[in-house]
Structure 1
Amino acid sequence: MDVLAIGAPAEEATLAALLRCCVREVAGPRGLVWPAPPYVLMRVAGTLLRARTHGGAALRLDGPPERLEGGSWQPLTVAELVRLTETDLADLPDLAGLSDRQDEHARPGRRAAHLDVEPNGEFAAQVAASRDAIAAILAARAQAEPPADPWLASEQALVYGHPFHPTPKARDGADWLRYAPEAHAAFPLRLLAVRDDALAEEGDLTALDALGPAPAGHRLLPAHPWQLALLRPALGSELVDLGPGPLAVPTSSVRTVYVPDAEVCLKFSLDVRITNCVRKNAWYELAGAVELTSRLAPLIAEVAARHPAVRWLPEPGYRTALGQREGLGVIVRASPWTACDPGVTPVLAAALALDAAPADPLAWWTAYVSAVALPVVDLYVSHGVVLEAHLQNVLVGLDAAGRPVQAIFRDLEGVKLVAGRHDLDGLHPAVAAALTHDPARGWARVVYCLFVNHLTEIAATLAGPDDELLRALWRAARDLLARQAAELGQPLPLRDLLAGAPLPAKANLRVRWARAADRSAGYVPIANPLA
């Protein structure tokens, strides 16, 4: 394997992602980004940089970025951009921005307290580690067979990760590549048995019981082998190791897997940091998944009467061991194949953002926005439900001709209920708090996930370097949303969106520099393509 051939794409992808972060979170908010066609110019730590771009807010690069030195343009490297970024971040007074998690007494839209940040001595190493992980993924991927299932192939297509994250492939742990979806991993689950009196569970767990037999007085508990190796739980009469179980295929989130033999998805805890967060099923998220499954069913059914393309993946139950409630908690999730109509193939939206080339981009986009965006807006306005419709939480059902005809929403961890619009009496206070957003925070999350993270990337892929087509796509989206606004009675958030209010973009670079939890990430404003 040619190491240089692998290393070059990893370096280029890392440089591109960090440069996008600098435009959005460092130079842009300070007014230090200027269009100079065919380039975008920016100043970072006093150094003038330039890059050819297309795709509007998606900032797709058309060549290597450069820096001005001694009156001439020189190639920019990851190490140089890291150094410049660190210099500017150390001087920024506000690394929090508008927090995604305001305190409970904050007024809607009120600025949260600034993060108390010291220089991050780990940042350069984290960027380098993410770049090295991309190189390792490319090498492993070249030797592996992709899944025959087109949906699973799309789940495993995200080699370079989040385009606006400084460390998009950050992974803790020595064995991560063995379980990496991008490397076309597949592995047997580990089956445990939990004694009945040491069990915690709720909801419909038929799918778990079908994975295999359990000893008398015990219930079956599947475990991710990576998590089991990290936890090393005490085994005995309360928790029995039954050995290998059915084959599992990891999806794009790493910790959620699909079990083909059982036709079910399982969401596990993983005590490792993936991108920003240690991915673990908190105890209140276990209960919240079952609660939301019950609450959302009639609401989504009502919205589906107006938007028949909408589908979702319920999470009907969870099971865990009392001694490892969070560490061994597993959430059952429906398979997307059960949600799609016959003849419709689910594909991860993030994979479509990498490669979508329909014969008629405008017609395809119109169908896409109608299927994906309109029900999300409807659920917020009509029912106070916040869907995190970002690229990894949405599957798009394609018909035999490749047209988007259904939208399948998943992952109830990110679903929130707008405060004051739902009766949460009777829930544990921690569960109720985890399920709730205030209206301003909920709408900001809807807009970021749906428009900034999702639709800008799909539009950029469809339009390519054709700026006029890109504008036509956004005009079509605006027409659809304007018609929906009229049908919904011109709600204020939607009126502001259509009037051109800036869009909130999540500040991944700033929160990583601050070494803060992902829930502390704030937003920075970017231009609204619907204006």
Structure 2
Amino acid sequence: MSLVVTDPDAPSAPEESTVDRPPHPEAEVAEELAAVRPDLVQRYAAELPGARAAVLTRLWRALAHEPLPWITGRSPGPVLRLSGGRTLHGPPADPYATDAYVTMVHLDGTAYDDPARLMTDLAVPHGTDFAAELGHSVASLALSRANQPAHTTEWPTHDWEWEQRIVDGHPFHPNCRSRPGFSVAEQLAYGPEHRPVVALGSVPVRAEECLLTGAWPDELRDAGRLLIPVHPWQAAHVLKRAGDAPVDAHPLMSLRTLALAGGTHVKTALSARLTSSVRDISVYSIGLSAALSAFGEALAARSDGLLHVTRTLGAATADSPDLAAVLRESPQKYADTEAGERVLPVAALATTGLPRSPAWLAEFTRLALVVGLRLLESGVALEAHGQNLLVVLDRTGAPIRLVYRDLADIRVSPERLARHGIPVPELSGRIVTDDETTLRRKLFGSLVAGALAGTAGSGTVLRAALTTVVPKLERTPDLLALLQQPLPTKALTLMRLSPELPGDQWTGLPNPLVLEPGPSDQ
């Protein structure tokens, strides 16, 4: 059976286009869905226009603000001038908006509501692969939205239930739900927003063949072998073998990290590209995990009770990024449940309704900036986006403390640590840097352009919160840089269109305190 989902109001592609188009992911997902969950087909079709707008909004943000080499100029409107003489125009691009407000853009007068079709017809280097990812992002997002239960006002009780409330994925990445390599059945079986119970197996490896840091529990040992937890998708597609002795686990918002019944969180290798990166676990990160965990505990002890850092219990790899796992304690450990406290990822705050209160958002912004800027001044830049950063709420819903998890991508400045009399940990590699630009990008890009912007939902609301909070903060050089320069953020689309350039690439967004274009936006 061939099932094609179309939108009657969608604009047709330019008649003169001679681009060979592969099968559209929307139709591919519809056909698979008809076979595995026919009850969702109609809801999936109804969600497609909104999913296209959500991804197009993220793509338009990137086109309007990232230094893409084939965009030769930008004029008010905005109108983007492309190499070769074409023009692209759409609505004003709020770089901090999370609602899907871009439903149509125009390329040389032709209307597009489909981000994958737009990227295909832009015909830029590496655009074909990226267009396929955008199509998968739209289709997967529509599938995620179609499989949601009726709205409930009850707050979850388990940590994994909070994580599974994040349906739309990354608030600013066009590949917010791109899962190439996952069938529809696998998305339904493993995607956290689909609320599955996952059978998490393990692979036995002789202990002498493994790199192990920290402690490894007895229940994951057997006759001189380490039992390394392995995600079912990884077992099927990469390791080509089933995991042994499966146990029930609940996927968290990162999909490859799962919560076990006893509360332990297990980060597994997943050699698939989700949003920007292949989610394996490097031998480098396993080797540093114990030292980073101890360092994180020391940082938390210096935070006046405002920050907790989840401990890494153990990490092991069979000398391969494809077979590795990290065991972490649950952030729930840092909430006094008897006192009515809850801890939830910042990305889940939008599901509580709390950010709609300007006073609440200002207090949360103050807490996040105080903690982040203190650590930065001391020599540690957190990757404090909405997944890694969690907030503890008291019984009334007020934000009182922060919890941080996954230290693998922080940046540490030995010079700043020494200046403040903090013992310098034995770390090496990319984590270690004294470069001020790198340190500030890491924190500001993740915390302000990420967690705070995503919680605020628009530049206007973010500006109001910052305007309330900033005058009361200590005037450090880092804060002055935040106030006086464009706000750094990862150029996520540029990175996907530049596979030959490894590492992060950056752009500057209009400073949310003034909302005027910065130098990189001209």
Q: With structure 1 as the length reference, what TM-score do the two structures score?
A: 0.77
Matched with 1:102 is none
* Cα 1:136/1:63, change in 2 over 3 Å: closer
Name stretches of at least 5 consecutive residues in structure 2 with no aligned partner: 1-39, 515-522
Match of 1:405 among 384, 400, 403: 400
Matched with 1:258 is 259
Tell me if 1:454 matches 2:451: yes
CA distance in 1, matches of 2:328, 2:234: 19
User: 1:345 Cα shift?
Assistant: 1.0
Matched with 2:300 is 300
Tell me if 1:493 matches 2:490: no
CA distance in 2, matches of 1:59, 1:195: 48
Matched with 2:517 is none
Alpha-carbon contact 1:367-1:405 (below 8 Å) kept = no
Matched with 1:388 is 383
Alpha-carbon contact 1:196-1:218 (below 8 Å) kept = yes
Match of 1:438 among 423, 434, 437: 434
User: 1:501 Cα shift?
Assistant: 1.1
Matched with 2:490 is 506
Alpha-carbon contact 1:312-1:410 (below 8 Å) kept = yes
* Cα 1:340/1:64, change in 2 over 3 Å: same
SS across alignment from 1:484 = coil
Matched with 1:197 is 208
Matched with 1:216 is 223
* Cα 1:144/1:62, change in 2 over 3 Å: closer
1:140-219 alignment, distance < 5 Å: 140-141=147-148, 148-149=156-157, 151-175=159-183, 176-177=186-187, 178-205=189-216, 208-210=217-219, 214-219=221-226
Alpha-carbon contact 1:310-1:372 (below 8 Å) kept = no
CA distance in 2, matches of 1:370, 1:217: 50
User: 1:379 Cα shift?
Assistant: 0.8
Tell me if 1:14 matches 2:55: yes
Matched with 1:367 is 363
SS across alignment from 2:359 = helix
CA distance in 2, matches of 1:228, 1:147: 34
Match of 1:65 among 100, 104, 117: 104
Match of 2:91 among 51, 55, 59: 51
Tell me if 1:32 matches 2:85: no
User: 1:470 Cα shift?
Assistant: 5.1
Alpha-carbon contact 1:475-1:530 (below 8 Å) kept = yes
**Structure 1 residue identity aligned to 2:204:** A
User: 1:449 Cα shift?
Assistant: 0.8
User: 1:79 Cα shift?
Assistant: 4.7
CA distance in 1, matches of 2:81, 2:155: 42
**Structure 2 residue identity aligned to 1:473:** A
Measured against aligned partners, the alpha-carbon deviations of 1:241-270 in whole angstroms (never above 9, x if no partner) come to 6422x21111111111111x2211111111
CA distance in 2, matches of 1:453, 1:358: 15
RMSD after superposition: 3.3
CA distance in 1, matches of 2:155, 2:234: 23
CA distance in 1, matches of 2:492, 2:306: 32
Name stretches of at least 5 consecutive residues in structure 1 with no aligned partner: 35-39, 91-117, 236-240
Higher relative contact order (CA 8 A, sep 6+): 1
**Structure 2 residue identity aligned to 1:18:** L
Tell me if 1:484 matches 2:474: yes
**Structure 2 residue identity aligned to 1:4:** A
Q: Please, which moves more after superposition, 389-398 or 175-184?
A: 175-184
Tell me if 1:530 matches 2:513: yes
User: 1:165 Cα shift?
Assistant: 2.1
Alpha-carbon contact 2:200-2:232 (below 8 Å) kept = yes
Alpha-carbon contact 1:289-1:315 (below 8 Å) kept = yes
Identity of matched residues, %: 26
User: 1:134 Cα shift?
Assistant: 1.6
Matched with 1:377 is 373
CA distance in 1, matches of 2:424, 2:465: 44
Q: With structure 2 as the length reference, what TM-score do the two structures score?
A: 0.78
Alpha-carbon contact 2:290-2:312 (below 8 Å) kept = yes
* Cα 1:513/1:58, change in 2 over 3 Å: same
* Cα 1:520/1:221, change in 2 over 3 Å: closer
1:315-394 alignment, distance < 5 Å: 315-321=312-318, 324-342=319-337, 343-353=340-350, 356-357=353-354, 361-382=357-378, 384-394=379-389
Q: Please, which moves more after superposition, 182-191 or 469-478?
A: 469-478
Measured against aligned partners, the alpha-carbon deviations of 1:156-183 in whole angstroms (never above 9, x if no partner) come to 2333222332322222323541211122
CA distance in 1, matches of 2:351, 2:65: 21
**Structure 1 residue identity aligned to 2:489:** A
